Amino acid sequence: MNIAAKIKSGSELRKLIRTGDFAGQTAGQAPDHLQGNVVILPKKHAGDFLLFCLNNPKPCPLIGMSKPGDPSIASLGNEIDIRYDVPRYCIYKNGKLFDEVNDILEYWADDFVTFILGCSFTFEEALMQSGFIVRHIEQGLNVPMFKTNIETMPGGNFKGPLVVTMRPYPKEKIPAVFDLCAEYPHAHGTPVYWGDPISIGINDLQKPDYGDAIEVMEDEVPVFWACGVTPQAAIENAKPDLCITHAPGHMLVTDIRSSQHLSVSAQMSAFQN
């Protein structure tokens, strides 16, 4: 089935994913619905990863968390089943990519804890609605992502470099971009840096570590945001025996509106008990 038009809601999109009628990237789908990065770990690793998220809220804004073994996340949407509701998943074993699948039923275990982290699709949608160009979307490319020389704060065995995304803007527009993104702390929030990329360990903007290179015009400054790929670098370092994430661009689309700020303190208490 070819889905030509944008799907209007998270619940509608998840139903199509479950039936196999939608298997693509979720950018632009269910406008004004919060999308999330997915990390699923056995409970023995989940405490360390939770600490990593709490220590690094910019790249890892925690918006949802499950009880061990529970595939639902009721706070983010009715009838969410994380085993089926993401278009494509990556399976990691000992920190290395092992497989990519369309559902994770065969890998599911009764001690798995699911973490949902805020996604840059949320503030990109807001930028475009406010008239700011998002060049990689305009050009049909993936956002360029770079490992930096900025180290995250460890959470147990989870540690590694901060990964950032880059979007260029004229210098005079950066204050307005900053203020707009400040409204979305649950989706990486404000930029972490703008200016000379060498200062944060990026030697060549045309050679991103992930995603696609985009052009920076003469009158533009590269602007960098904390990126949800940061946990992937930490997973590579921690080498958990098994970890499941979304495939790049294939997010969990929730029933929550993009502007809604979320608290996961009650969910954390349920996990700890």
Maximum mean pLDDT: which of 19-23, 50-54, 231-235, 261-265: 50-54
For residue 65, give the amino acid letter: M
Secondary structure of 199-237 as H, E, C letters: HHCCCCCCCCCECCCCCCCCCEEEEEEECCCHHHHHHHH
Average pLDDT over residues 216-224: 96
Query: Which CATH number applies to 10-119+239-272: 3.40.1640.10, 3.30.565.10, 2.40.30.170, 2.40.40.20?
Result: 3.40.1640.10
Average pLDDT, the chain: 91
Instruction: Identify the pLDDT of residue 28.
Output: 81
Instruction: Identify the pLDDT of residue 141.
Output: 86
Instruction: Identify the pLDDT of residue 3.
Output: 44
Instruction: Identify the pLDDT of residue 78.
Output: 86
159 pLDDT higher than 70: yes
Q: How many angstroms separate the CA atoms of 218 and 67, rounded?
A: 50
Give percent above pLDDT 90 in the chain.
80
Please give the model's pTM, rounded to 2 decimal places: 0.90
What are the Cα distances from residue 219, in Å, to 112, 169, 170, 207, 234? 48, 8, 6, 21, 35
2-42 pLDDT per residue, tens: 444 578 899 999 999 999 999 988 888 888 899 999 999 99
Domains of the chain, residue spans: 10-119+239-272, 121-230
Q: How many angstroms separate the CA atoms of 1 and 196, rounded?
A: 45
> What CATH topology corresponds to 121-230?
PSTPO5379-like fold (3.30.2040)
Instruction: Identify the pLDDT of residue 170.
Output: 97
CA torsion sign for 43, 47, 48, 49 is positive
Among 272, 244, 261, smallest CA distance to 38 is for 244
97-155 pLDDT per residue, tens: 999 999 999 999 999 999 999 999 889 999 999 999 999 988 888 899 999 999 999 99
Instruction: Identify the pLDDT of residue 5.
Output: 58
Among 187, 186, 169, smallest CA distance to 130 is for 169
Among 214, 191, 25, smallest CA distance to 135 is for 214
Instruction: Identify the pLDDT of residue 2.
Output: 42
